[in-house]
């Protein structure tokens, strides 16, 4: 097998495409699966609802907030507190979630959470922590897929959900693979 080579890298609008050759189908699939399930990403994991007079149950609102993409810087591992205080009439969006860390904020400010009628209130706190997609889909940073051609090249596509750039998702996935290989090498 020849030396692995990445060519034709292009990133547009949160989607990274590139060609990969000189690797086995196992490696291509390992990269895809690592993007999906092993890149650490922030998500709101625990929600405490103090007041909710909306039409939605507490658990429904907590679930929606848990799936809001949270910007995930590389070197930060702290838990982050998000608060929400809203009174209707208003459409509550992800942009209304206030973070205790200015580096870790909602990646998309326009995701609807709940519509509040007149005098309806939602007050809550949510704790964001890093996790991996293997444990829950809310920690998944991107979609990843590839196709294979007759020349032995893989055409990869990584589409970020907004927590980080697609190129950063690919870099972090490759770092996870390298780290796991080094750990396995120590055990041999």
Residue-level pLDDT, tens digit, the chain, 188 residues: 578 899 999 999 999 999 999 999 999 999 999 999 999 999 999 999 999 999 999 999 999 999 999 999 988 788 999 999 999 999 999 999 999 999 999 999 999 999 999 999 999 999 999 999 999 999 999 999 999 998 889 999 999 999 999 999 999 999 999 999 899 888 88
Provide the pairing of β-strand 41-52 with 80-87: unpaired
In the chain, list all ranges with CATH 2.170.120.12.
42-132
In the chain, list all ranges with CATH 3.30.1360.10.
5-39+141-187
pLDDT for residue 81 = 97
pLDDT for residue 1 = 55
Q: Name 81's Cβ contacts closer than 8 Å, sequence gap at least 6.
A: 99, 100, 125, 126, 127, 128
Q: Rounded to whole angstroms, how far apart are CA atoms 74 and 164? A: 9
The dotted CATH code for 5-39+141-187 is 3.30.1360.10
Q: Locate tokens 């032995």: which residue? A: 152
Determine contact, residues 139/131, Cβ cutoff 8 Å.
yes
Q: Name the token pair of 91.
A: 């459409």
Cβ atoms within 10 Å of 27's Cβ, excluding its own: 15
Kind plus residue range of the DSSP H or E element containing 8 = strand 5-12
pLDDT for residue 78 = 87
pLDDT for residue 123 = 98
CATH fold for domain 42-132? RNA Polymerase Alpha Subunit; Chain A, domain 2 (2.170.120)
């Amino acid at each position: 097998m020849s030396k692995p080579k990445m060519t034709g890298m292009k990133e547009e609008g949160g989607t990274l495409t590139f060609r990969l050759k000189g690797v086995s189908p196992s490696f291509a699939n390992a990269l895809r699966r690592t993007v999906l399930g092993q890149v650490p990403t922030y998500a709101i994991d625990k929600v405490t609802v103090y007041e909710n007079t909306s039409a939605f149950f507490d658990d429904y609102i907590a679930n929606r907030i848990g799936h809001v993409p949270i910007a995930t810087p590389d070197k930060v591992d702290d838990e982050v507190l998000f608060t929400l205080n809203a009174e209707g009439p208003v459409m509550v969006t992800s942009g209304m979630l206030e973070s205790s860390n200015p580096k870790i904020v909602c990646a998309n400010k326009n995701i609807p959470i709940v519509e509040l009628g007149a005098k309806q209130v939602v007050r809550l706190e949510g704790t964001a922590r890093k996790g991996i997609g293997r444990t829950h889909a809310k920690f998944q940073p991107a979609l990843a897929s590839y196709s294979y051609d007759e020349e032995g090249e893989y055409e990869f596509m990584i589409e970020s959900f907004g927590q980080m750039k697609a190129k950063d998702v690919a870099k972090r996935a490759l770092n996870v693979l390298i780290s796991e290989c080094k750990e396995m090498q120590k055990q041999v």
